Structures are given as structure tokens and as C-alpha cells.
Amino acid sequence: MAGKTLYDKLWDSHVVKEREDGTALIYIDRQLLHEVTSPQAFEGLRLASRQPWRLDANLATPDHNVPTTKTERDVGIEGIVDPVSKIQVKTLDDNCDEFGIVEFKMQDKRQGIVHVVGPEQGATLPGMTIVCGDSHTATHGAFAALAHGVGTSEVEHVMATQCLIQRKMKNLLIKVDGELGAGITGKDVVLHVIGIIGTAGGNGCAMEFGGSAIRSMSMEGRMTMCNMAIEAGARVGMVAFDENTAEYVKGRPYAPKSDQWDQAVEYWNTLVSDEDAVFDKVVEVNAADIKPQVTWGTSPEMVVSVDSLVPKAEDESDPVKRSAIERALEYMGLEGGQKITDIQLDRVFIGSCTNSRIEDLRAAAAIVEGKQVASSLKQALVVPGSGLVKEQAEEEGLDKIFTAAGLEWREPGCSMCLAMNADKLGNGEHCASTSNRNFEGRQGYGGRTHLVSPAMAAAAAITGHFIDVNTL
């Protein structure tokens, strides 16, 4: 019999019950909650007089709506200017208090973007099934966990039953072998992969990232890659367990301690795809081919290397794709054939659950140190992923480096990633952003997003346009 993939193993170990129609009841070890997708789920529980099945499996924190300026944050919830946002954050607090769910509230220094907080606390562990009402839950798969986003009905279902009804997905392996070039990060790798397979390339699949380039990548880089698996259509991104995983998890507040640690590691060591495992699909990528990536359009698959030209619609033969390119060029205010490095920027955003961890901030700080933000920019924001990331960065003096260079140093939250709070792009503005989605209007009405790595965003902040970080 052929061996099992990592996904097969995680799936098999969580099946509570197979059902006749081919679906299975899958046990969920951890549910992360935030203010946007949980209120209707709590309301559903209340209406049906149901209690959460297992309180300690849940962990909550507000992130999408929280303001990121210090003046607003110091005031607390009452400091949230937008009344609708305020109600949403308050509703999460009230619901968690009422049901007895642990929540890192807005003033808690452990608060942050839910996908940064989970791993940071060790609430994300290898071998777990993890869900959250947020598509970027795929992030947690970097820990050899089975993690995916769910809708609000499923948030309620998991709260009430600790289970989900699922159908097994297909196995897709993205194999990145070789050595990554200087300045090439997980962000560039995943954008490059999405450029190859497209935004629907992973539909119906659990996507494992493997190969020698991934083995030598940090946990932060792996999280960035898994985070964007959803941008390739896969609900699940995963990386096998290894020493990097163990080292990251060890000592975190929710991680196993003393003799339970050894017992856990012994089990976690099995969380790899077997040598003879069979994948439904394998995509091979040569690490050495990957250059710094920049998206030019309104879908993450509209991506090219920084040294390339914006594509021309007439070069595309498929009519649906051609009209998508035309639309995107129009929305982005770009001409086919123009150089990526000629795109002038208005704002720079370094943050989001894709790239707001300490390693990301260090990479950005290393670029801007001793330099000045281009005078043509209206704003360059750095938003750490959590209060603890912020604290760590300040201990290392990164905040001083950013502010000295003319970047703003903010309080943790989702911020300009989706512009649910006050941080947003103006109509027609171009932004170099380390987030994960460049959809129309994502970062603000009429805003034009270009997805890049933290180092590339930092370099763009200095020059006011895109530039290969290695040539700065």
C-alpha cells in the first residue's frame, strides 16, 4: 500500500465518524475567533439555547476593526471612532464574557491578528485541526496542522459540536527545490507559485509545500506561504514538521511542557508525508528561478518579477483572460508594456497576517536603516501583527529605525490589509503592500494594491517606486 501524505495523516487522525455519503465528521482541536465573523454565530447559539461544546478549545481576539493609532488605542474601546466598528468589537467582548471564552482584548498586549496570535501563543500546535472564520486560517498549516477557514455557520457548528462535516480534499504538492536567491522570501515563492497555477489552481486541494527550499525556510516564511495558499484556491496550506517547527513552538504559553513535550515531539515527528505517498498533483518549482515578485493587477495571479513589464492584453489568446487583463489594467491605471519599476507609489503598507511577524519587520528595517522615505509618498505604515511582536521589535530598536526613516509605527491589527478601520487608500492611489489580496477596492475604494515582500515594500518606500531589493 502506498504511504500517506501529511494531509492523509491529519485527516485520518481526526475522523470521528465516516458517513455513508462520503463525508466525515471531523474533530476540531482549536477554534480561533475574531469580531467580524463570530457575532452571528454566537447569536445562533443563543437562539437555539446551545452552549459551546468545549470552551478551552476556543481563543478570541479582535483584529479587523481595531484602530492602529496610539491615541485611539490608549482610550480603549470607547476610542474607536467608527460607531459600527465599536459595536462589533464590543460584541466580541460581551460574547466571550457571556460564554466564558478566553479573549485577548484590545488593551491586552497579547492582542493581535488572529493568525499571528495563534502560533505566537503556541495555541497552534502540530497535529491539530484548526479553524477560524477567516480564509487565511491556512497560515497555521505551516505547523503541520490541518487548518482552514470556515464561514460563520461553521463557526457556530464548531462551537456547538467541536466538529465539522467535511469531504476529503485532494492532495497537491508544491515542491520547491534548490536554493533561493538573495533577498527572496516566502512571499516571493508563494506569489511565484500562484502566478504558475492561478487563483483557482488549488481548488478542492490541500496544498503541501515541500522540497529543499522549504525545509531551510524559517517558520515565518512558511506561515507566509501557507497564508496565501487560499489565494491559489486551496483552503489548506501545509508544511511538514521538522526541527524548525519544534524550535518555534517550544516554550510558548500554550505549548506542551516537560515530559508532555517529549511525548508530543515523538508524535509530531510522524507528521510528514511518507516517501512513497502519492499526491494527486505535483507542481515542481526551481527555487533559483524565483525573482522578487510584484503584482500588477487585481488578482494575486496577476504577478510578475520586478524586472519585467506589465503584460499586454493583446498577447493573451483566451478571451475571458484577455478581458480580465483589460479590466485590471484599466482599474490599476497601467499600460500594458510599461516597466514594473516605473510604477509610482503613493503609499506603502508593511503588515497583515501575511507579513507582520518579527522576521518581516527585521527584513524591512534592514532595508530602510539610515535612509529616508521618498518625499513623493503620502504615507508609509508599519503595523506589527501583535502586541508581542510590537514589544519585541521595540526591544530590538526597530521602531526607531522605522520612524527615523519616516515610516509610521502603529499599534497591532489588520489595518490597511482590508481597510475596515481608518487606515485606507484613497481613490486611484498605488500602494506597495505586504498583504495578501489585491482585489478591487480591497485596501480602500478605488485603491490600487501591489503585493510584495516586506523587503521589497521597504525598498519601494525609499525610492517611491518598485526596485529590486538587491540593487538598492
Picked from ligand SF4, other proteins, none, the partner binding residue 233 (CB below 5 to 8 A depending on kind) is other proteins
Closest CA to 357 of 164, 115, 148: 115
Interaction with ligand SF4 in 61-100: which residues (CB under 6 A)?
Answer: 63-64
Query: Residues touching ligand SF4: how many (CB under 6 A)?
Result: 13
Q: How far is the CB of 387 from other proteins (least distance, A)?
A: 17
Q: How far is the CB of 222 from ligand SF4 (least distance, A)?
A: 16
Backbone φ and ψ for 325, nearest 5 degrees, come out as: -65, -45
Nearer to ligand SF4, 52 or 385 (CB): 385
Nearer to other proteins, 152 or 463 (CB): 152
Site string for ligand SF4, 374-413 (x = CB under 6 A): ----------------------------------------
Interaction with other proteins in 127-146: which residues (CB under 8 A)?
Answer: 127-128, 133-135, 137
148 binds ligand SF4 (CB under 6 A): no
Picked from other proteins, ligand SF4, none, the partner binding residue 98 (CB below 5 to 8 A depending on kind) is none
CA–CA dist 240, 235 (Å, integer): 17
Strand partners, 191: none
- Give the residue carrying C-alpha cell 500554550: 254
Is the torsion defined by CA of 461, 462, 464, 469 positive or negative? negative
Among 161, 218, 269, 338, which residue interacts with other proteins (rule: CB under 8 A)?
161
Interaction with other proteins in 4-63: which residues (CB under 8 A)?
Answer: 16-17, 19, 21, 23, 25, 27, 29, 36-37, 39-40, 43, 48, 50, 53-54, 56
* Cα distance from N-terminal residue to C-terminal residue, the chain: 53
Site string for ligand SF4, 25-64 (x = CB under 6 A): --------------------------------------xx
CA–CA dist 227, 318 (Å, integer): 29
Among 417, 432, 451, 462, which residue interacts with ligand SF4 (rule: CB under 6 A)?
417
Interaction with other proteins in 320-359: which residues (CB under 8 A)?
Answer: 320-321, 323-324, 327
Query: Residues touching other proteins: how many (CB under 8 A)?
Result: 79
Q: Of the listed pieces 83-91, 119-127, 414-422, 445-453, which binds ligand SF4 according to CB under 6 A?
A: 414-422
Interaction with ligand SF4 in 194-233: which residues (CB under 6 A)?
Answer: none
CA–CA dist 453, 469 (Å, integer): 10
Nearer to ligand SF4, 113 or 123 (CB): 113
Among 181, 336, 406, 441, which residue interacts with other proteins (rule: CB under 8 A)?
441
Site string for other proteins, 99-128 (x = CB under 8 A): ---x----------------------x-xx
Among 5, 31, 68, 85, which residue interacts with other proteins (rule: CB under 8 A)?
85
218 binds other proteins (CB under 8 A): no
Nearer to other proteins, 37 or 356 (CB): 37
Among 107, 153, 216, 376, which residue interacts with other proteins (rule: CB under 8 A)?
153
Nearer to ligand SF4, 135 or 273 (CB): 135
Interaction with ligand SF4 in 111-130: which residues (CB under 6 A)?
Answer: 113, 115
Q: Of the listed pieces 86-94, 369-377, 403-411, 457-465, which binds other proteins according to CB under 8 A?
A: 86-94
The residue ranges that bind ligand SF4 (CB under 6 A) are: 63-64, 113, 115, 134, 136, 352-353, 414, 417-418, 435-436
